[in-house]
Structure 1
Amino acid sequence: IFDSLPNITDENELARFGGHVMLADYCPYDQELAYKNSNRDSRCYRPENQPPNTENYALEKYSVQSKCFDHGSVWEQYIDQCRKKRRIAPQVAGCYQFECVSNEGIYVHIGKEKYLCEYQGQNITIVAS
């Protein structure tokens, strides 16, 4: 959307600024999603939005203790099923439980693990076993 921004020199980072919706003046914003085949939507605080385990590829957790976290970049998963690769929809953000701990930071709960985020904008690496 932008050709350049002050203090942003990486073109890949530049692509993360702005939105794609003309009505929002191309400003980024959170938009609730509604799923066609169920009563789910994208609000993280609603436990009834929790996907079934068989479809929860990003290990999301929908609860009153959850917030939406940016995945940092678009990523895709491939699942090896019966020796065939099955492509899963791209993920750009997900709902995860978190806890704030004084003098430490925010712990983001992903699956059975906790990952410490010590400062705003920090990228954390998630390793799936």
Structure 2
Amino acid sequence: MNQNLASIARRVINLRKNPSSDWRFYCSPSSGNNNRLFVGGLSWSVDEKTLNDAFSSYGDVTQVRIMYDKDTGRSRGFGFVYFSKDEEAKSAKEAMDGKAFLGRPLRISFALEKVRGVPVVVPRLSNASDITNRNK
């Protein structure tokens, strides 16, 4: 596992030095929109209307989706809230992240684009210099 992490770190560092390298860096394509929030830590009793009501005080909520288990039909404990404007999503994230909602603390972050068929690698570039210094 440590060899894989070191290999990824070397590739990221190489990519930063030479952005035109052949190595493909798979991560969320940045479309410039940050109006989609991932909402984790949902109670199983939460439905779309309840979630919409909770977030609508921060702006115009255009869509709410809760992910459900195919077999049981029960909530998987997370969903997505879409706002019409980036600023509204940002204020909702700042206000609601970590707050208790129906007895459970919410974990909110900006949602990544869904990429099908390719691995998603999101390295922590802030630690890349630490890995480089350890390998010397």
TM-score range, shorter chain: under 0.3
If asked which structure has higher relative contact order (CA below 8 Å, sep 6+), I would say 2
| Larger relative helix fraction | 2
Q: What TM-score, normalized to structure 1?
A: 0.25
| Larger relative strand fraction | 1
Larger-gyration structure (1/2): 2
